[in-house]
Amino acid sequence: MEQFKINFINNFITDNRYMYLVQGLGKTLLLTAFAAIIGIVLGFLVAIIRSTYEKTGKLKIANALCSLYLTVIRGTPAVVQLLIMFYVVFASYNNSTVVAIITFGINSGAYVAEIVRSGIMSIDGGQLEAGRSLGFSYAQTMWYVIMPQAFKNVLPALANEFIVLLKETSICGYIGLMDLTKGGDIIRSRTYEAFMPLIAVALIYLIMVVFLSSMVKKLERRLRVSER
């Protein structure tokens, strides 16, 4: 017990080492939040293009581009994407935070797109017909009739995607960013002690994920109630 206390002080208190974790956590949350926004915008756009093509046969070229995007992003590791973005695409641009946000946003967008597309396709075809028969255009029907229902159906899956995204940002140390994971690793390199800082990092992720998951569960319950 005494040893535990000494280790704790050495790893977290001495030289204010806990600040590595605090600042790292801030970075993790910042990356997750902004990447999520990009992911939502991009994902919805791609989903609408893809489902429009599937339903009407229009937007053929845009759909082909979207398919390519999904294949490439979902077919390569996120770490590799991050390295390519940092060392190749944005080689002359050295704000790694922005590069990481863009990369994670583009990455997440691919997964969001497939979730939202499945939501759109799950809405009964009669809904589109009813909207169109009233005189709404395709776009208006999507906006007023299809998307609100699709969004509601996929909210839990979307929330899960952002939990995945939160954990995914832990690879940003590869381009020199100090997020929560990197913060813990820096402590390890200072104190030559792996157990405590890394377990602390894992615990912080776990607490965030458990909290978010319980929010998703609550959300799912709420949505089920309003269906009756």
Partner 1 sequence: MSDNTLFEINGLCKAFGEHLVLDHIDTTIEKGEVVVIIGPSGSGKSTFLRSLNLLEQPTGGQILFEGNDITKSGNNIDKYRQKIGMVFQHFNLFPHMTILKNMTIAPMKLLGLSKEEAESQAKALLERVGLLEKADAYPSQLSGGQKQRIAIVRALCMKPDVLLFDEPTSALDPEMVGEVLEVMKDLAKDGMTMLVVTHEMGFAREVGSRVLFIDEGKIVEENTPAELFDNPQSERLQSFLAKVL
Tell me the closest approach of the beta carbon of residue 51 to partner 1, in angstroms. 18
Tell me the closest approach of the beta carbon of residue 126 to partner 1, in angstroms. 4
Tokens found for residue 49: 């293009």
Which one, 221 or 228, has the nearer CB to partner 1? 228
Tokens found for residue 194: 């792996």
Which one, 14 or 133, has the nearer CB to partner 1? 133
User: How far is Cα 166 from Cα 164, in angstroms, rounded to an integer?
Assistant: 5
Looking at residue 166, the DSSP 8-state letter turns out to be H
Which one, 134 or 203, has the nearer CB to partner 1? 134
Query: What is the binding site for partner 1 (CB under 8 A)?
Result: 124, 126-127, 129-137, 140, 144-145, 148-149, 152, 227-228
Which one, 75 or 126, has the nearer CB to partner 1? 126
Within the chain, where are the H helices? Answer: 2-8, 18-56, 60-75, 78-84, 96-122, 125-134, 138-141, 147-168, 180-191, 195-227
Mark 15-37 as b/e (b = at least 16 C-beta within 10 Å): eebbebbeebbebbebbbebbbe
The DSSP string of 168-222 is HGGGGGGGT---HHHHHHHHHHHHT--HHHHHHHHHHHHHHHHHHHHHHHHHHHH
Tell me the closest approach of the beta carbon of residue 134 to partner 1, in angstroms. 4
Tell me the closest approach of the beta carbon of residue 118 to partner 1, in angstroms. 18
Tell me the closest approach of the beta carbon of residue 227 to partner 1, in angstroms. 7
Which one, 118 or 127, has the nearer CB to partner 1? 127
Residue 173 C-alpha from the chain's centroid = 17
Which one, 128 or 178, has the nearer CB to partner 1? 128
Tell me the closest approach of the beta carbon of residue 117 to partner 1, in angstroms. 19
User: Which residues have CB under 8 Å from 47's CB, separation 6+?
Assistant: 112, 113, 114, 115, 116, 117, 119, 120
